Structure 1
């Protein structure tokens, strides 16, 4: 068993999740302490500027200054999150074997064999005194995979640890939505389904000044525009078979721009739900239950829509004893252990890579670890 600390910063741009997990990198998982550190307004602004600058960043060009500046601040913020979690857990750096540092995705173009997660792994190792694994996606994309999603192997381990024997669908509603199907034999199918919270969050920020539709209040006061929803669902991505993955900016809210703030929020929420339902056409059967992770599970309007659309069986991760806010951070601690052991991080059934693919880059903390 190895004690690892995972760091995750998703496409919702809400903050940094840090979680400790003890695992063998295979089927044994014990989740430990965790915390979430919301981004400060200036940090969110830096990351938003980096995302915008990265849209026009070509492979033969040096990193745009906006991206480089965001990377420096982002790395420091992650180091502070590690220190805060260790203090809360009354642990020392020497008590942690490795940090799994996902970084912040600023560019995801698997069709061009390119994906970029900013974050200076070597600097984080020096600042924390703990070995760091970073760059989890590049090897997969370079080999022809989608580079996402990477969490399904951890979903599989969680399902095993929970004693789940029947087919189960694990739905993550972060900035982007994705599904993991775990079959009775442990087989995995995973893929991105469409926008998760990203469009809803952006819409809420633009119309209310809040970075999310808290408790689905805005959507609850509106009505779904069926005609607009049908138009949104005409995108070719939804009928394409997996493996498939998305960038945060693969979709826009342009189709709802003429709607009221409330109707726009309701329609975008229904859009996320419909993309998940459409995605289930690509799994081999009806699962016994749908377990929802990520920030979307805290939106009661989204969860109600999802339960109605999937005809029941929808439950938050906590009903299985999982910590829904921590699953992805735990996953990158788990994947860091797999990387240390030379085990695959992705499979043909999860990212479409031709064969099980190891990955990650190790950054040593130096001679000896800090007390």
Structure 2
């Protein structure tokens, strides 16, 4: 046992349904800003799991309770396999984000499945999970939660931008940490790529060959959400209610949809970033070369080069860090970010 360091697992499942990200992280006890991702892996979802998670928004409360438990068992099996495959011997705890099924914080609703008690029982590990519920009960958005990690682990960078199912940004405005969801990204782009029989539009190649539908672009940019001030967050429900009907009513050609939506994303992101500031970009959208090029066309920021592990696993890393803070009873949820009534230490701890 090394008394200067401790080790944790972080799990993240994003709205784009790529799979479950698992990281094994080494933290320094007296300086959390020192960390190292030792092992990392994304376990893709089977077709059956992907369909269940996509359709769960329509499940009854009883069906969701069953799914919560079965998904917890599934995560436990992934954790046990990960620990076995990488021969992990030192592990203080597991921090699991779970998978978001419902997120309407203005109605006091948020649900991340993956029952922590089930995970703790089957892995025989301490588990920290359910990071969003407490914040929503305190009047917050329950999102984004990553900014506390940006504040403490990446304080030398002006903007931390994530390009996942949704894009979100985090920055310090000289008074406090501000963060919010900007717009959908892969949750929409992947959906239309799926219509062509593809998992995603690799490098944005299909989008680059499409034509911008100017009417659609204008209507997307005029959506009410973009006029709101932070704190604000997005969920699948909003995409289904606001984005998809608009796209489907105005454009049928998939390449044109992708081209138009990439432009929309680039415009919304660039409206947030200030020229000449440093930005760390992570998430799967980093590999969409065409999208990154369009963002660069609208803003003159200095993009900080990140390792592939950081690009792919930053959210899982920071959920491990949220677990560190929760177990240490330190603040891991900022009211300046979520709009909650107070800063707080969020999450529930389950013992094996």
How do 1:1-371 residues align onto structure 2 when only pairs under 5 Å count? Answer: 1-23=5-27, 24=29, 26-53=32-59, 63-65=61-63, 67-92=64-89, 95-160=90-155, 164=156, 168-182=158-172, 187-205=176-194, 207-251=195-239, 252-257=243-248, 258-280=251-273, 286=275, 288-315=277-304, 317-318=306-307, 323-365=310-352
In structure 2, distance between residues paired with 1:348 and 1:273: 28
Render the CA deviation track for 1:57-99: whole Å, top value 9, x for unaligned.
Answer: 6xxxxx242x34433442233223212332343213xx11111
Q: CA deviation at 1:241?
A: 0.9
In structure 2, distance between residues paired with 1:129 and 1:208: 43
When structure 1 is superposed on structure 2, of 122-131 and 347-356 the one drifting more is: 347-356
Q: CA deviation at 1:174?
A: 0.9
Does structure 2 conserve the Cα–Cα contact (< 8 Å) formed by 1:26 and 1:338?
no
In structure 2, distance between residues paired with 1:148 and 1:29: 24
**Counterpart in the other structure of 1:368:** none
In structure 2, distance between residues paired with 1:332 and 1:28: 16
Render the CA deviation track for 1:44-63: whole Å, top value 9, x for unaligned.
Answer: 0111121233xxx6xxxxx2
In structure 1, distance between residues paired with 2:142 and 2:37: 25
Q: CA deviation at 1:286?
A: 4.6
In structure 1, distance between residues paired with 2:212 and 2:51: 31
In structure 1, distance between residues paired with 2:202 and 2:58: 25
SS at match of 2:238: coil
Runs of at least 4 residues off by over 6 Å: none
In structure 1, distance between residues paired with 2:74 and 2:283: 21
Query: What is the TM-score with the length of structure 1 in the denominator?
Result: 0.86
In structure 2, distance between residues paired with 1:51 and 1:311: 39
Render the CA deviation track for 1:230-286: whole Å, top value 9, x for unaligned.
Answer: 111111111211111111231222223223111111111222222222334xxxx55
When structure 1 is superposed on structure 2, of 16-25 and 261-270 the one drifting more is: 16-25
Q: 1:352 to 1:317 in 2, by over 3 A?
A: farther
**Counterpart in the other structure of 1:60:** none
Q: What do you get for the CA RMSD once the two structures are aligned?
A: 2.0
In the alignment of these two chains, the number of paired residues is 341
